Amino acid sequence: MESDQKTMYELVGGDELLRELVDRFYDLMDLEQGFAALRAMHPPSLEGSRDKLYHFLSGWTGGPDLYTPRYGNAFLRARHLPFSIGSNERDQWLTCMLMAMRDMGFSEDKQDILLNAFFRTADWMRNKAD
């Protein structure tokens, strides 16, 4: 796989598949009891969260910057400071995303590349001691 020549956006499969990945991620978060702590950090309706993550990931993965024109600078860590995020919440987020990638049939190579990138950001979001 020539992943170093592709953006993560291309690796995911572009806009349509990125949206599908985000939707599957939130479907799993809403359905699976193992993600209860993660789900509790979100509003009752996940529609706004779905849109924000999709818009953010589009630019973050190397695709079109859809987030900034709608919401301004991401200030990702600052926007998450109101939530208590430790290793458990980080790991729930990562596991949910991994399950979404597997459900969509991503190859193990793609999963590894994307999960590694997601881990670095998710780990940076931690703001409480374990």
Overall pTM surpassing 0.85 (yes/no): yes
Domain assignment of residue 7, yes or no: no
Q: Average pLDDT, whole number, for the chain?
A: 93
Residue range of the domain that includes 50: 13-124
Q: How far is CA 6 from each of CA 63, 102, 112, 120, rounded to the nearest angstrom?
A: 11, 20, 14, 19
Give residue-wise pLDDT tens across range 17-43. Answer: 999 999 999 999 999 999 999 999 999
Domain assignment of residue 34, yes or no: yes
Domain assignment of residue 2, yes or no: no
Domain assignment of residue 110, yes or no: yes
Domain assignment of residue 71, yes or no: yes
Q: What is the mean pLDDT of residues 74-93?
A: 92
CATH number of the structural domain spanning residue 54: 1.10.490.10
Residue 2: is its pLDDT beyond 70? Answer: no
**What pLDDT sits at residue 4?**
53
Domain assignment of residue 98, yes or no: yes
Residue 46: is its pLDDT beyond 80? Answer: yes
Domain assignment of residue 44, yes or no: yes
Domain assignment of residue 57, yes or no: yes
What's the rounded Cα separation, in Å, for the pair 42 and 30?
A: 10
On whether the CB atoms of residues 67 and 18 are closer than 8 A, the answer is: no
Q: What is the mean pLDDT of residues 43-67?
A: 96
Residue 3: is its pLDDT beyond 50? Answer: no
What is the total count of domains within the chain? 1
